[in-house]
A and B are shown apart, each in its own frame.
Chain A
Amino acid sequence: MKGALLRLLLLVVVLAAIGRAQVWRVDAGTSVTLAAGALLLCGLFAGKVAKGIGLPRLTGYLLVGVAVGPYALGFIPGAGVKGLELVKGLAVSLIALVAGTELQLGLIRRVGTKVAALCAAVCGVTFLAIFGALFALKPLLPFLAPMSVPQALAVSALVASVVVSFSPTVTIAIVQETSARGSFTEFLMALVIIGDLLVMVGFAVAAGLTRASFGGGLDLWGLLREVGWELFGSVVVGGVLAVAMLVYMRQVKRELPLFLVGLCFASAEGGARLHLSPLLVSLAAGALIANLDEREGERIHHAIQRAGLPIFALFFAASGAGLKLNALMTVGPAALLLVALRAVAIYGSCRRFAPVEDVRLRRYLWMGLISQAGVTFGLAALISRTFPDFGPQVEVLIVAMITAHELIGPVLTRRALQRSGEIHSEDAPGAA
């Protein structure tokens, strides 16, 4: 651990020196490659340090990203971090692909109904709690204060639908890191994935209502088409990807990690531009492969594990570097209140509605549902773009919440897995 810490400090010193040397140049060149290299190396060694002090590696990646990023020490320019968006999409796709390979038909048959019921309960209770709190805070929140009651109700519903979301990315990364296996882990993973599907539907409905309340008119057919395209279109495209992967794996059989990285990159970028959910596309592809050919599903799992470490370290360190600490300062109190309320709602609904036959679900499941990351970021940015009048302020509030959730979420998720007794290894090869 000492060695990793020393290496991390040395890296930070070198980064500081590069930042200092840049002052002598009148105009800087591109900073994206520098950001990629620095965040990858810093993330890697910060992960080792975090592991040494009993935290998830992922927390190390995030914290070091925050530290050297543009909002704290400023050693990595903001433009460089912004240029890494492509990497983020790629990592989400890869993680979702691995998650998909875990979704065996047998598992869905076994726990599908229970997971869906609990998910609806948890999401419903959390949504109502956040929705109520936001509406109650209307006079205090600058973006809600000037709105009429119907408008405030619609915007509260829109924000609440985003705040409900979980983080499959973090959950799957922690599961990979700890090599957790068992019924609790399966339940948790299925719940965060289905939760995000519910959030996507809820968000589309809330966005339609908000548009209507601001005079855009309620276009039910358009709303259905939007939701349908995002959900079913993603599954269909995922199916096509699965076929392409299977053909490649059976015919070409070479350089599988490289091929998967390329395909996930294409699905992330292409999916985002076609208004599909990159997460769902890869998830569907992974699930289809695992159910059509179990052996190939295993191969994908191992291939991504081999190529995953640099991508995960870079993804989470870049996510950390992108966390706007100043947002936490400006809307901190409101954000922290909502964070606490969300945690209480998740805790309460898990204690009340989780299946009784496994006591671990009632006790520890809530801890695995606290994280928020990629999907929440994406929806917050979408609000900002779609509703330019109040969207940017909503984005600041949600990003402040994500910052808090990113810092405590991974620790809680690992604790949940630890307490469930399903962690098998603390140092899986190539794990996040």
Chain B
Amino acid sequence: MQVLLVLLAIAALSLLASSRTVLDPGRFPALAQLAASGLLFLAFGAVMGPDALRLLSWKDLAALRPLLALGLGMAGVMIGLNLEPRLLRLLPREVYAAALAHAGTAFLWVALPLAGPLLFTMGLPPGAAVAAAALLGASASLSSGHFAVLGYRSGRMERRRGLSVALLTMLDDAVGLGVLVLALAFGAAANPLEGLGLVALALLLGMACGALLAFLMHGIKDQGELMAVLLGGVALVSGAAAYLRVSALLAGVACGATLALVGSRAVEQAARMLGRFERPSYLLLVFLVGAHVHARDVMAWALLPAYLGLRFLGKVLGGALAQRIAGNTLALPPRLGYALISQGGLALCLVVEYLTLVPGPLSQRVFDVVVAGAFVNEVLGSRAFRHVLESTSEQAPTGTPQAPGGPS
């Protein structure tokens, strides 16, 4: 009954969060921003969870595991479907180098200094502490491009600039997923080789399901049937991954990417149809992530300022480096690092996946730090982006030539 009440509350909150009054930034700026990014649900989950109001118990959360797996699978499939091999091939090398530079800098700035405290406070084997620190770094390396997208859509930022920032943040996702692979290889099994085998199993499963889904979709014209096949496919890949205790997120990405590769013309339609379920499933996922937070871990609160500060420095330095590398190829704004402060939902997906597959106090602490960090970064991100807009209006666009296949 509690689970039912919570689901109903989420449904009501979804309606509220999609209300134009709430989303109007002129009336409640902070609320509108949190509602638009979905992080309002994160706070809602944390408040209702077993560590705060206890409207949801740990048993309830265990019963909601299938929904968590489904949400992760859906997120993975959507990421995979957005991977366009043709576009990725056309991107110049400087763009990849810039993405790697800013994501890598933030990664190193967070992972290296925080590995020490994790290693010494938890008393765990070095491999596990390194994997956990790497995951902290990976989540720090991720940024959300939604402010840039909102900026150019509202006309407050030049379109090419907005797209350039959004492109860089999209490429971050690959870095984050790569580190998740490493963290799972080190933490999800008794030895790294076995861990790597499990990651390979998740990817293989995703590819098989993607190919199967493409075959099942072939020749289906009825919209209802197509929708049923797509939903069944997403449930199958995430369910199989959850059943085999491998990463539903990675399996979903492999499934979506395979579908994008072999699905020919049906892919666009599939992406459009699944897109209708993307936001509800994302909001549910974010709510469940919030409910898993351990708000009473003092060490996590102690780590949080360090995590936020180091990430900020990493982003500012990484942004400057990226601008130096790709300044002639992309129309990047000045103070790029400030535009990258906001953290994407993928950071939450990474840490909740890690928590599910490598349960324990260490992964819980990493999870708590990253979730709280994502919330704070979202609130700070808006102000930081305003700085970027101000500096952009002060300084005229550099007018750099557009690279072939560039973001615009």
Chain A contacts to B: CB under 8 angstroms: 3, 7, 10-11, 14, 17-18, 21-22, 25, 27-38, 40-41, 44-45, 77, 80, 83, 252, 258, 262, 265-266, 269-270, 273, 306, 309-310, 313, 429-430
Contact = CB atoms under 8 A, between A and B. Distances in A.
Contacts of A22: 243-244
Contacts of A273: 1
Contacts of B15: 252
Interface residues of B, number: 40
Contacts of A18: 205, 240, 243-244
Given A21-B244, A262-B11, A41 B236 contact: yes
B83 to A, nearest CB: 22
* B interface majority secondary structure: helix
Contact of A309 (B65, B228, B233, B237): B228
Interface in B236-286: 236-240, 242-245, 280
B212 A11 contact: yes
Contacts of A37: 232-240
Contact of B232 (A3, A25, A40): A40
Contacts of A10: 212, 215
Contacts of A309: 224-225, 227-228
* Leading 10 A-B pairs by shortest Cβ distance: A37-B235, A34-B239, A33-B239, A37-B236, A40-B232, A41-B232, A32-B66, A310-B228, A29-B245, A33-B66
Given A37-B232, A269-B4, A31 B243 contact: yes
A34 B243 contact: yes
A41 B215 CA distance: 12
Contacts of B232: 36-38, 40-41, 44, 310
B229 interface: yes
12 contacts: A11-B216, A22-B244, A27-B245, A29-B65, A31-B242, A35-B239, A37-B234, A40-B232, A41-B233, A266-B8, A270-B4, A429-B224
Given A31-B243, A34-B240, A37-B234, 19 more contacts: A7-B216, A14-B212, A22-B244, A28-B243, A33-B235, A33-B238, A33-B243, A34-B235, A38-B232, A38-B239, A40-B228, A44-B228, A45-B216, A262-B8, A273-B1, A309-B224, A309-B225, A309-B227, A310-B224
Nearest to B8: A266
B201 interface: yes
A29 B234 contact: no
B219 interface: yes
Contacts of A430: 224
A422 B219 CA distance: 31
Contacts of B245: 25, 27-29
A372 B396 CA distance: 74
Interface string B1-18: 100100110010001000
B66 A83 contact: yes
A10 B11 CA distance: 37
Contacts of B238: 33, 37
Contacts, number: 118
A306 B232 CA distance: 16
Contact of A30 (B224, B225, B227, B242): B242
Nearest to A84: B66
Given A18-B244, A266-B8, A309-B228, A30 B235 contact: no
A313 B235 CA distance: 14
Interface of B: 1, 4, 7-8, 11, 15, 65-66, 69-70, 73, 201, 205, 208-209, 212, 215-216, 219, 222, 224-225, 227-229, 231-240, 242-245, 280
A309 B230 CA distance: 13
A406 B231 CA distance: 26
A36 B234 CA distance: 10
A264 to B, nearest CB: 12
* B201, B231, B234, B243: residue with the most chain A Cβ atoms closer than 10 Å: B243
Contacts of A29: 65, 69, 242-245
A41 B229 contact: yes
A6 to B, nearest CB: 9
Of the candidates A14, A33, A262, A309, the one having the most CB atoms from chain B within 10 angstroms of its own CB is A33
Contacts of A266: 4, 8
B174 to A, nearest CB: 26
A21 B201 contact: yes
Contacts of A34: 235-236, 239-240, 242-243
Contacts of A80: 239, 243
Contacts of A3: 219
Given A30-B65, A269-B4, A313-B228, A40 B235 contact: yes
A84 B160 CA distance: 48
Contacts of A32: 66, 239
A340 to B, nearest CB: 37
A38 B232 CA distance: 7
Contacts of B4: 266, 269-270
Contacts of A310: 224, 227-228, 231-232
Contacts of A44: 225, 228-229, 232
Contacts of B11: 262
A186 B268 CA distance: 43
A190 B7 CA distance: 34
A45 B205 CA distance: 21
A265 B4 CA distance: 9
A45 B236 CA distance: 15
Nearest to B230: A310
Contacts of B70: 33
Contacts of A30: 65-66, 69, 242-243
B193 to A, nearest CB: 14
Nearest to B227: A310
A38 B225 contact: no
Contacts of B229: 41, 44
Contacts of B209: 14
Contact of A7 (B201, B215, B224, B243): B215
Nearest to A266: B8
A166 B238 CA distance: 37
A36 B231 CA distance: 10
Contacts of B69: 29-30, 33
B62 to A, nearest CB: 8
A40 B69 CA distance: 17
A262 B280 CA distance: 12
Contacts of B1: 269, 273
A17 B235 CA distance: 17
Q: Which of B8, B69, B222, B235 is the most central at the interface, judged by chain A CB atoms within 10 Å of its CB?
A: B235
Contacts of B65: 29-30
B310 to A, nearest CB: 34
A31 B8 CA distance: 24
Contacts of B7: 265
Nearest to A269: B4
Contacts of A33: 66, 69-70, 73, 235, 238-239, 242-243
B130 to A, nearest CB: 25
Nearest to B228: A310
A429 B222 contact: yes
